[in-house]
Structure 1
Amino acid sequence: MTPVNERLILASKSAARRAMLEDAGVAFSVQVADVDEDALKNRHDPADAAGLAVELARAKALAVSRHDDDAWVLGADQTLAFDGGLVSKARSQVEARDRLAAMRGRVHHLHSGAALAHNGQIVWSGVDTAAMRVREFSDAFLDAYLAAEGDALLHCVGSYRLEGMGSQLFEAVDGDYFTVLGLPLWPVLVELRRAGVLLS
């Protein structure tokens, strides 16, 4: 068996993305990218949430790749489109409650973008989308959910973790589970094999 000598850096602080790659048997290190996400969002068309996810992923991959030419750098980001606009992470439990209440009985879309950079250049990028159908949950459930999750839900763009109690918020999901968690894993693995980071 030919050894794999290529290094991979994940340019993301997301615990969910780290766990996905670790569970898939991918060896990598983590270096959080220094990117002004707000500036990128302000320049981007808010109607193009999928495009923004890719743009943020590309910016993160490039920011780290410019400082480590030899490594392959994986950048990733996720955006949430709802009611014709972009949704950002809630800043408080009150804001999270209001948002989840507004999503009740409706559909929103999660866009997970990823990009692979090498030698300071983007060599691949892509995005995948999942449609999330929120059920008509009661106010009592919403209060119990917020109490159980606490401030941890403020780190998630939709104020939920599908791998946790947040799964109870939904009646159906149309899309890939990994995409919901924040990474289009299957296309990423294809590109890592192509790059020689993983055995083909």
Structure 2
Amino acid sequence: MEGKLICTWAEEEGKSGRGLAVSVFLGEKYNGWPLSFAIKEREFELKAFLITIGASSLRKPNVQQGRNVIPGKSQKIILLKSVKFLLIMLGSASMARRQILTEMGYEFSVMTADIDEKCIRKEKPEDLVIALAEAKADAIISRLKGTDQSEEDAHTTLLITADTVVVHEGVIREKPSTKEEARNFIKGYSGGQAAVVGSVLVTNLKTGKRKGGWAIAEVYFHDIPDEVIDSLIEDGVTLNVAGGLMLEHPLTLRFVEAVVGTSDTVMGLPKELTEKLIREAL
């Protein structure tokens, strides 16, 4: 088993002392599948695989086999008690979400839910995005059960669904239904502020366990000229995103004064929340 290991880690204080929370992705494939796993352990003798992590800074990890190692002052040893295959399905047609999940180091398949989102209504934006993510997951799981799936889909471990809305002046905005509505949305942002509320739901298809949550970011805008708004509308992208707001679009990005929160929340898949929910759903 060979491959490039990408590790993120954080020290945690607890009643039993300080430990490490580590998320690991093996970039190459093992038996045709990407290998990912999440662990939270203390110090053990090495029985299978281990990761060596610098105590003061993250170094390029080593992967070793079949040796007993006692942690020294300059390193900490984390035992992988069991290696789990993490096969992910993203339940979204969003190119931004695909891009973010790829940046996080995961390989995944894609299946869209194709639900009528307008049939689901909630007063609070956070309740709405959670309900929509749950409905998308339910629809995809129903399709997986009701049709003959390929071997790849049949062995998928986690399903990730998400939803995003924009809140402007107390009004929840979803995808605009017309170019005129999109134009009004963007004009409203000019020189003002909007909040983006995004949910993530991770469903373990093996156990049925579900973990969900939501994140919020605020976007502050400079004045947006009418000709820029016209160009955005003609481009057509505004009809495919919540509130007509595509932060990563070059025409939009020029007029963003500040983002309070994370840009990946605005784009539709908050990375930190997604990683947390993946660990919890395993």
SS in 1 for 2:113: coil
> Deviation string for 1:124-177 (max 9, x for gaps)?
000000111122233344334445xx1122111232322222112321111111
What does residue range 39-78 of structure 1 map to in structure 2 within 5 Å? Answer: 39-41=119-121, 44-45=122-123, 48-66=124-142, 67=144, 71-78=157-164
CA contact (8 A) 1:89 1:157 kept: yes
Q: Name the structure 1 match of 2:274.
A: 188
Q: 1:153 aligns with which of 238, 253, 261?
A: 238
* Alignment partners' CA distance in 2, 1:93 and 1:35: 22
CA contact (8 A) 1:62 1:122 kept: no
SS in 2 for 1:172: strand
CA contact (8 A) 1:12 1:32 kept: yes
Percent identical among aligned pairs is 26
C-alpha deviation, 1:51, in angstroms: 1.6
What does residue range 2-151 of structure 1 map to in structure 2 within 5 Å? Answer: 3-41=83-121, 44-45=122-123, 48-66=124-142, 67=144, 71-119=157-205, 121-147=208-234, 150-151=235-236
> What 5-or-longer segments of structure 1 have no aligned partner?
none
Higher relative contact order (CA 8 A, sep 6+): 1
TM-score, structure 2 as length reference: 0.61
Judging by fraction of residues, say which structure has more helix. 1
How many residue pairs end up in the alignment?
190
The structure with more radius of gyration:
2
TM-score, structure 1 as length reference: 0.83
Change (3 A) 1:93 1:39: closer
Judging by fraction of residues, say which structure has more strand. 2
* Alignment partners' CA distance in 2, 1:51 and 1:105: 28
- Find runs of 4+ consecutive structure 1 residues off by over 6 angstroms: none
